[in-house]
Each structure stands twice: as C-alpha cells, then as structure tokens.
Amino acid sequence: MKSSFKILFEDADVLVADKPAGIAVIPQRNIEVPCLQKELEKTYGKLFVVHRIDKNTSGVICFAKNEAAHKFLNEEFEKHNVKKLYKAIVRGRLMNKAGQINFPIAPHPVKPNIMVTHPKGKKSLTIYKVEEEFKHASVLNVEIKTGRTHQIRVHLAAIGHGLLVDEVYAGADAFYLSSIKKNYKTKSTVLPDINIEDKENKELLEMNTTEKPIISRLTLHASELHFHHPSTKEVIICKSEMPDDLQVLLKLLRKYDV
C-alpha cells in the first residue's frame, strides 16, 4: 500500500518524509491516535526515529531503516553534524535583522513538557535572519545548532518575537484576519427569522457570526535537512516547500499587513 505522505528521500538506509502539521512523529499516550512513524511503517516496514519535530510543526523529518543507519544518524545529530533549517513566522519586526540566540534551555521547574531559558540549562544556539517583514510580523530563516526541546519557540519568545501562533510560549492559539485588516467584518449567511431567546438559535447565531482563524497551528516549518548518508557519506539535502496554510497566511500578510 502506497503511503499518503510525501517522501522526500528513500533508500535501503534512510527515509525522509514531509510531515504535515497535526500528526505526531512518534506514538503518544493514546496509542489509538495515528502517528507518522506507525503510519509510514505500514508501507516501509520498521523505522527508527533519529529526531523529532513538534506535532503542530510541518516539514522535513528523517527516519533510519536499519540499526546501523540508526546508530550513525544518532551520532551525527548528537555531534551537531546535521544542518536543520526552519521558516518561522513571528510577531513584530526585529531590530537586529540577523543574529544568534544562545540562552541555555531547561525544563520548567513545575510545568511538565514546558521549557524555559535558565542559566543552569543546556547550552543552546539558534541562528536567525529576517527574510521578509510586515507591519506586525516577520518571516525568519532559522538554523538550530543544538536540538533542545521547543528550542526555536523558546528562544524566539525570549527575545520578544514569539511565533505568530504558539499558545504555550506566545499566548496565541490562532491568528485572525481582523487583527490586520482594517474595518474587518465577519461574513455571515442570511438566517431566517429566529427567536434568539431560544438556546439552540442563540448558538446558531453565534456560529454564524464568529470569525474563523486564518491559522491555528504553530507558524513554524522545518524547511531543510542536510545530513551525511550512513553508507555513502554523501551529503543528502532534503527540502520541503512551505505548506498551503502558511502560504495563505503569507499572502494575507502581504496584502493587509504592509
């Protein structure tokens, strides 16, 4: 059975996929929920995880297809020999159009699965360069030299330019057209005469007039992965185009946020 996921590279040692946002790389607590690893294994057999990206991040993800390749790639990631590039759409305009963020990162002392910058945390390095600017947002090219959990999200939030959508680190679970379009009015269909005192009719009216978000997932995309092939040692470069939801967001920012 052919996989429904786009494959960027595949041979006897390695499989590189283009992960859509909304699916986790590895199994979660609820094993009934699909994950990329298990879905791909239905087509390609046993896969070994060598790195991860967040569930709500899209883009390039690499798996090993045998134990030898797994060992080699793990060592390459640990030695920081793998080049990892991202596109990030963030809040605001950065004063420094290119720079480095090197705050150490550690787990939150109380909240599980949350990371913070902390002097006693692990060494972390993020390099960024502004690619495009709008009135209230910017597109960054980002390279992470280390691979800490939530590194890009934590580092960008730490300099005051968190992702445009990131509920955990930037306090925004969605982005709306009304935030950039002047005199925005919610489009609604004409409803028949209804009694708004009726609970069901009230809910119908609210659904009809509530603005839908442009995007409600992390505005982060893993755009490129450069690594040495486990067998040939050739440099493999895998690239992923920005998906439709982020393309739509950029189109609207270019139209209304200039």
DSSP E strands in the chain: the ranges are 6-10, 14-19, 48-49, 58-64, 83-91, 98-101, 105-107, 115-117, 126-133, 137-144, 220-228, 235-239
Cα maximum dimension of the chain: 72
> For the chain, how many residues are written?
258
Quote the pTM value. 0.89
Catalytic residue positions, numbered = 54
Q: Report domain 6-180+212-256's class.
A: alpha beta
Buried b (16+ CB within 10 A) or exposed e, 184-199: eeeeeeeeeeeeeeee
Cα-based distances in Å from 41 to 19, 59, 147: 14, 18, 25
> CB of 122 within 8 A of CB of 100?
no
What is the residue-level pLDDT of the chain in tens, covering all 258 positions? 456 899 999 999 999 999 999 999 999 877 778 999 999 999 999 999 999 999 999 999 999 999 999 999 999 999 999 999 999 999 999 999 999 999 999 999 999 999 999 999 999 999 999 999 999 999 999 999 999 999 999 999 999 999 999 999 999 999 999 999 988 887 654 445 555 566 565 555 555 568 999 999 999 999 999 999 999 999 999 999 999 999 999 999 999 999
Residue type at 18?
D
Question: How many CB atoms sit inside 10 A of residue 209's CB?
Answer: 12
- Segments making up each domain of the chain, as ranges: 6-180+212-256
